[in-house]
Amino acid sequence: MAWTCSGNSNRELIKNLKRENLIASDEVEQAMLSVDRGKYCLDEYRGAKAENASYQDRPLPIGHGATISAPHMHAQCLELMLEHMKHPECRILDVGSGSGYLVACIASLISQRNSPGAAKVVGIDHIPELVEMSIKNLKSDRSDLLDDGYAEIHEGDGYKGWAESAPYDAIHVGAAAPSIPQALIDQLKVGGRLVIPVGPQGGDQWLTIVDKKAGGELSKTKYEAVRYVPLVPKQN
C-alpha cells in the first residue's frame, strides 16, 4: 500500500498518505504539509532529473551510512505519539535525528498548540556532519521553528539520550537498537511513550511501543515488523 503514496510534490505525497489512512489526524497532516521533505534530502534526489525521488514513499540515503525514513513510517510514528504531543509545554526527544525532517514535523505539530518557548522537540545525532546538515535544512525550510524555540538539535549519543531536557512526554528513535536503552526509559516521563525499532541488524526488528505507567511500570507492544539501520553509539 505504501508505494502508492509517492507523489511529484510534497503536497501530493502527504495527500496520498492521508488517502491511504497512513495519516489519520488533521494535526499530523498539517504538520507534514508544512515541512517540505525535499529540503531534507540530498540534492541528487531532488527535482525532475531525479524523478522527484524526495517525494517517493521510500527511505533515502543522507550520507554517513544514515537514511531518512520512508514518509509512511514518519507518519505512523507521529500518529503513535500524537496524544503525548498535545500536552501543554510538552518535551519530545528525537534520537537519530538525521537530516532533521522529523524534528521539523514534530516542532510544527507542537507549535499548533503552544506559544513560542512553551514546548520543544530536541533532536540528537552522533554524527556531527548530520547535526550541521539538519540545522541548515531547518533554517532553509522552517527557520521559525528554530527561532521560536520549538526545535533544537545537538550532537549526542542516542543510547544515552539527552538528559538536559528530560523528562520527555514522547521519545522517538529513528534507528534500531538490539535492546531498549535504559537511559531512554529513565528519561521518559510517567505517562509518556517511547517509539523505537528493536532488533539486530539483518535480523527480525519490531517497531516497539513502550508506555510508562504509574510507578514506572512499562507496557511494551510490538507494533509492526520493520527494517532500520542500526543505532550507533557515539565514538569518543
**Catalytic residue positions?**
69
Of 94, 132, 130, the residue nearest 110 (C-alpha): 94
Which is nearest to 225 in space by CA: 201, 198, 186?
A: 198
Q: Output the 3-class SS for 141-152.
A: HHHHHHHCCCEE
Q: What is the dihedral of CA 100, 103, 104, 109, to 10 degrees?
A: 170
**Residue 222, φ and ψ in degrees, nearest 5:** -80, 110
For β-strands 60-63 and 168-173, DSSP reports them as unpaired
Q: What are phi and psi of 94, to 5 degrees?
A: -115, 110
